Structure 1
Amino acid sequence: MQFEKLTTSHKISTEIVTAIKNKLLDGSLKNGDKLPTEAEMVEQLGVSRTPVREAIKVLESIGVIQIKRGEGMYITNNPSHFSLNPLIFSLIMHSNNTEKLVEFRQHFEILIINMIRAKWSLEKVKKIEEVYLSQVERLKPELSPEELAMIDLEFHYAVLDATENAFVIEIGKTIYELYKPKMIAAKQSSNIEQTLKTHKAYLDLLLQKDLVVSEKQIDEMIEYNQEWLEKD
């Protein structure tokens, strides 16, 4: 596999992702194909090592690239059901705009709340509550950032499933895949109390099926997520 040199004024790591996306979409790259080494990509693309690493990190985090120690980088043989979806690549192009990503996610979650309420059942909400109660027991300071992030996401995946809408579930999982690397970077044991507090507030909104979600609540959700997501 050979890549052409980049000539662009856009974010270089984004352009590298685009180059790989285009080769996947036109069939030049297929599941299981081996990619050039990091050094070879630097030379072929005519860029520095840093944006190549950034692009690889993004593609690995969403399951497009699999790195096999001692062997190299491969297009995954077993992609998740959304890994090669054009939607995920389109959103990657904008994922460096943290403010807009946070804003979209929180308004998207208000949509989710309203959808669950439209076909509200105590059984659905109880399933989400079970996940929350499990988190109360399992979120411990000694866990790694990766473990903290994955347990955190279980709550949001349970909320997505409660919509029983394939479009919402697909888009929601895509958004969380974009979020996950930054969540892992930001996760600390000191965040546990705030995470549980936020999830409890979310659960309370679902339990009160007739309560109107206020703009103040939306703003508070956006502000909290932006604060921790933008931490170095």
Structure 2
Amino acid sequence: MQSETREYQKVIDYVSQMIADGQLKIGDRLPTERQIAETLSIGRNSTREALRMLEHIGMISCKRGSGNYLTDNVSRSVSEMVHMMLLLGQTDQAEICSFRRNMEKAVCRAVLDGKTFSRWETQVAEILHQACETQEREMQIELDRRFHYLLIQATENRFWIALLEPITDVYRKWIDAALQSANDFVKGQLQIEHQALFRALQNDDYAACEAAIDRHYDYVDAELSKSSK
């Protein structure tokens, strides 16, 4: 078993080194299983299993009849991890919602510190305008989703994006269900807080960002509490 583990690690180290050396970029095809096995002097079975492990965590994708390709879907494994933690009872909705509230504050801090909001301001403003114009519930939910995703994108920090987008995907399922049942008053208040957050980012006012986020998530948590009963 230890020998197999060392062989798995050889494959992972080999692929990682190829990336570090610039021999592999996103979209490039990896050497074949046979080539890797021969290069590392290890068994084909161990090579195959190691590649499947890399595929499972989203580092590579397998195209039947074509080979294995380097991909950038590592965030998938984060989402799967959160789902597994929920299934095993290692976390719950309340903990994830609390994490998401605090992470949105951290996202705003990153946006303000990086002075990046001006590059995203027009896109965010357009989403807020569309949200005010539409009465269609499904579109309102979609625009809410886009608003929060854009805030993450506005950090322009790839690590933030890779970490938070899959967690948000888990969280969004609950939010979408809660927004489906929310009354017009609650929907209106959520839009008001989106506008307040937008102005706070424009004004480089982190305290106002925090306050708008807390008010927003107070409404969200109240709706989640109703929908879970």
* TM-score when normalising by structure 1: 0.56
Which segment is superposed worse, 156-165 or 124-133? 124-133
The change in CA–CA distance for 1:131 and 1:210 in structure 2 (over 3 A counts) is: same
Q: Who is 1:37 aligned against?
A: none
Contact kept in structure 2, 1:149 and 1:184, CA below 8 Å: yes
Residue 91 of structure 1, aligned match among 82, 85, 92: 82
Per the alignment, in what secondary structure is the counterpart of residue 231 of structure 1? Answer: helix
Are residues 1:157 and 2:149 paired?
yes
How many pairs were matched up? 156
Contact kept in structure 1, 2:152 and 2:160, CA below 8 Å: yes
- Structure 2 distance, partners of 1:203, 1:112, is 13
Identical aligned residues as a percent: 22
CA apart distance, 1:216: 5.6
The change in CA–CA distance for 1:94 and 1:222 in structure 2 (over 3 A counts) is: farther
Q: Which runs of 5+ in 2 are unaligned?
A: 1-48, 57-70
Residue 132 of structure 1, aligned match among 107, 128, 138: 128
Are residues 1:148 and 2:140 paired?
yes
- Cα shift readout 1:148-198 (whole Å, capped 9, x = no counterpart): 322210101111111101111122211221022212221235242122112
- Structure 2 distance, partners of 1:128, 1:209, is 15
Contact kept in structure 2, 1:160 and 1:169, CA below 8 Å: yes
Per the alignment, in what secondary structure is the counterpart of residue 163 of structure 1? Answer: coil
The change in CA–CA distance for 1:25 and 1:208 in structure 2 (over 3 A counts) is: farther
Greater relative contact order, per chain length (Cα 8 Å cut-off, separation 6+): 1
Contact kept in structure 1, 2:79 and 2:166, CA below 8 Å: yes
Contact kept in structure 1, 2:131 and 2:140, CA below 8 Å: no
CA apart distance, 1:108: 0.5
Q: Who is 1:203 aligned against?
A: 198
CA apart distance, 1:103: 1.1
- Structure 2 distance, partners of 1:124, 1:105, is 21
* TM-score when normalising by structure 2: 0.57
Q: Which has the larger radius of gyration?
A: 2
Residue 101 of structure 1, aligned match among 82, 96, 120: 96
Are residues 1:166 and 2:137 paired?
no
- Structure 2 distance, partners of 1:123, 1:83, is 24
- Cα shift readout 1:70-96 (whole Å, capped 9, x = no counterpart): xxxxxxxxx9935642x2222223446
Are residues 1:187 and 2:179 paired?
yes
RMSD: 3.2
Higher helix share: 2
Contact kept in structure 2, 1:82 and 1:170, CA below 8 Å: yes
The change in CA–CA distance for 1:203 and 1:130 in structure 2 (over 3 A counts) is: same
Give the AA of the match of 2:226: K
Give the AA of the match of 1:161: Q
Which structure 2 residues correspond to residues 21-36 of structure 1 after superposition, within 5 A? 27=52
CA apart distance, 1:102: 1.4
